[in-house]
Structure 1
Amino acid sequence: MPNRAIIKTDKAPAAAGTYSQAVKVNDTVYLSGQIGLDPETQQMVSGGFVDEAHQVFRNLAAVCEASDGSLQHIVKLNLYITDSNNFVAVNEVMAEFFQEPYPARATVVVKELPLGAQFEAEGVMVP
């Protein structure tokens, strides 16, 4: 039986459904999707896509830290955007939070995201 731990931090938004912020199995951490919710208010940040993207990566970083890691420990990142025109912006914001070597990544354009979010990110981390 693998060693399994549930990760929870108040520095990222509380789970809004039947899921954990992250689950650690042995040395791998599976990070649930984060949207642009402010962890203090549980409300979406205002200001548009770039502000949402910054909050998403801050939330993801908080869960990584609660898992004894950092964004730099993410090996696979899945990004979901509701408008393909934001692809360039997501790369620019991501460059503020990640340095080379970058994680493997997929970016998927979706019809909609929870709570009207424009961006969501989830990943796999090995601290």
Structure 2
Amino acid sequence: MKSTVKMSLGSLLLVSSFSVLSHQSDDIEYLNSGKVIPTTLPFSEAVRVDDTVYLSGQIGILPGTLKLVAGGLEAESRQTMDNIKMSLNAHGFTMSDIVKCTVMMTDISQWETFNNVYKTYFTGKYPARSAFGSTGLALGANIEVECIAAVD
């Protein structure tokens, strides 16, 4: 009897764990619009897990290419934020859905230049944010911004 109960409980746990694993993978959606970054890259533009969207870091590339916009940090900052906005919009979300951003800069002393661009993309309710300096970013970019959005 004890072994039958143990076997039944073991089977129930096994079936339950498969259900949980199956449910978890159904809740993950890999989002690639092809409008912002080329779909040939080995990462997703964004990943949605339930009500959270994790955007890959964006740099100031011209949409659909791997070419940085000309004009230095200010131009790259604007293009980076445009790319984030375009990525969100392509999947039915907006800038107001962003709850957290991480900013990486090759020259942290240029913080004010980035902030002047960044604040124009929000309506006074700013996401939480952290930032750090970096010795190098993809494609020689001056700035990269990674965001998390809370969506319905």
TM norm structure 1? 0.93
The question of 1:54 aligning with 2:78 is answered yes
Seq. identity, %? 33
Query: Cα RMSD between the aligned structures?
Result: 1.4
Q: For residue 113 of structure 1, what is the amino acid of its counterpart?
A: L
Q: Rg larger in 1 or in 2?
A: 2
Q: Which moved more, 1:11-20 or 1:48-57?
A: 11-20
Pick aligned residue for 1:21 from 19, 40, 45: 45
- Residue pair 1:38, 1:55 contacting (<8 A) in 2 also: yes
Unaligned runs of 5+ in 2: 1-22
Larger relative strand fraction = 1
Rate the CA distance shift 1:94–1:30 in 2: closer, same or farther, 3 A.
Answer: same
Rate the CA distance shift 1:7–1:114 in 2: closer, same or farther, 3 A.
Answer: same
Task: For 2:139 and 2:44, locate their aligned partners in 1 and report how far apart those are by CA, in whole Å.
Answer: 18
Pick aligned residue for 2:109 from 81, 85, 99: 85
CA drift of 1:29 comes to 0.3
Deviations 1:6-45 (A, max 9, x none): 1111321225742100000111100000011101443110
Larger relative helix fraction = 2
Task: For 2:135 and 2:56, locate their aligned partners in 1 and report how far apart those are by CA, in whole Å.
Answer: 19
Unaligned runs of 5+ in 1: none
Q: For residue 132 of structure 2, what is the amino acid of its counterpart?
A: V
Aligned residues: 127
